[in-house]
Amino acid sequence: MEISDLITSEAVIANLKATSKKQALQELARRAADLSGLHERAIFDTLLERERLGTTGVGNGIAIPHGKLAQLDRLMGLFARLERPINFDSIDERPVDLIFLLLAPETAGADHLKALARVSRLLRDKGTCEKLRGSDSGEGLHALLTQAENSQAA
């Protein structure tokens, strides 16, 4: 499972404006609905349901909200760099400014977990995160996400 299989340049938001976790999830659900054809509310409800189990704010300013949707036919991701960091109830209590949303079909099983692990590995790299925080264009962010993956594989 490669990052480039999950995310297209249209699925990258360079300066997401959000002042809260809920607002960020709503904006991401709206964008995911536009890209997937699914209902925004179904995506948002799935994300909220997952957050109730425990925060997806994994620390170091990163959140990886995720969920499964029966209507989805493939794994898909969205990446957002927030204009300003927000409280995301992260495990380290630090505000979040990088969010990678991952949606999977209900039948994805191990593929969903492999994709989550891939995203987590990518965003654990401090150098990659510094570059992501320093870029303010969607194309640049997309290139960094997909190039970082290739350099990690080498």
Which 3 state secondary structure label does DSSP give 106? coil
CATH label of the domain that carries residue 87 = 3.40.930.10
Position 36 scores a pLDDT of: 93
76-115: b or e for each residue (b if 16 or more CB lie within 10 Å)?
bbbbbbbeeebebebeeeeebbbbbbbbbbeebeeebeeb
Alpha helices in 37-137 (DSSP H): 40-53, 110-124, 126-134
**Residue 146, token pair as written in the block:** 């997909």
Give the residue numbers spanning the domain of 99.
3-153
Position 154 scores a pLDDT of: 41
142 is catalytic: no
Q: pLDDT tens digits, the chain, 154 residues: what are they?
A: 789 889 999 999 999 999 999 999 999 999 999 999 999 999 999 999 999 999 999 999 999 999 999 999 999 999 999 999 999 999 999 999 999 999 999 998 889 899 999 999 999 999 999 999 999 899 999 999 998 655 544 4
The pTM for the full model equals 0.93
End-to-end CA distance of the chain: 15
**Residue 78, token pair as written in the block:** 């969205």
* Structural domains in the chain (count): 1
Tokens 């969903």, located at residue: 112
